[in-house]
C-alpha cells in the first residue's frame, strides 16, 4: 500500500458515494484494511449482506480499488472488466443470490 497516495478511502480513484457505502456495509473503513481484501470475496460478501444480486461491475470497482490500495497505482475500474469476464467464464465468479 502506498500511504502517500491514499490516506482515506475517499482518496481512491474509484471510490464515490455508492462504493463508500458498500465498503461501510462490508466493515472496511481504511485503505490499509482494503489492501488485504480480495475482490471476489468482497463481491460475494456484498451479495450476502445486501441480499441482492450485484452488478458485475461492482467486482471491477473492487479490483481497481484493492489494486490501488496495495500498489498506489490508480486504474479505471473498466480496466478490470476483462479479468472479471475471464473469471466468470471459468466459473470462478458466480452470483450467490
Kindly state whether residue 95 falls inside one of the protein's structural domains. no
Kindly state whether residue 97 falls inside one of the protein's structural domains. no
pTM of the full structure: 0.92
pLDDT digits (tens, 9 = 90+) for 20-64: 999 999 999 999 999 999 999 999 999 999 999 999 999 999 999
Q: What is the DSSP letter of 2?
A: -
Kindly state whether residue 61 falls inside one of the protein's structural domains. yes
Domain of 74, in residue numbers: 9-89
pLDDT of 7 = 83
Q: Which residue has the cell 469476464?
A: 85
Kindly state whether residue 23 falls inside one of the protein's structural domains. yes
Q: Give yes or no for residue 71 having a pLDDT over 90.
A: yes
Kindly state whether residue 2 falls inside one of the protein's structural domains. no
Kindly state whether residue 3 falls inside one of the protein's structural domains. no
Kindly state whether residue 94 falls inside one of the protein's structural domains. no
Q: How many domains does the chain have?
A: 1
Kindly state whether residue 4 falls inside one of the protein's structural domains. no
**Contact between residue 11 and residue 35 where contact means Cβ atoms under 8 Å apart:** no
Amino acid at each position: 500500500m502506498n500511504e502517500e497516495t491514499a490516506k482515506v478511502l475517499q482518496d481512491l480513484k474509484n471510490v464515490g458515494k455508492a462504493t463508500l457505502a458498500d465498503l461501510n456495509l462490508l466493515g472496511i473503513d481504511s485503505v490499509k484494511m482494503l489492501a488485504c481484501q480480495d475482490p471476489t470475496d468482497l463481491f460475494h460478501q456484498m451479495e450476502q449482506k445486501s441480499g441482492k444480486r450485484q452488478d458485475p461491475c461492482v467486482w471491477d470497482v473492487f479490483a481497481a480499488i484493492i489494486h490501488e490500495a496495495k500498489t498506489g497505482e490508480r486504474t479505471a475500474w473498466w480496466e478490470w472488466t476483462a479479468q472479471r469476464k475471464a473469471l466468470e467464464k471459468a466459473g470462478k465468479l458466480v452470483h450467490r443470490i
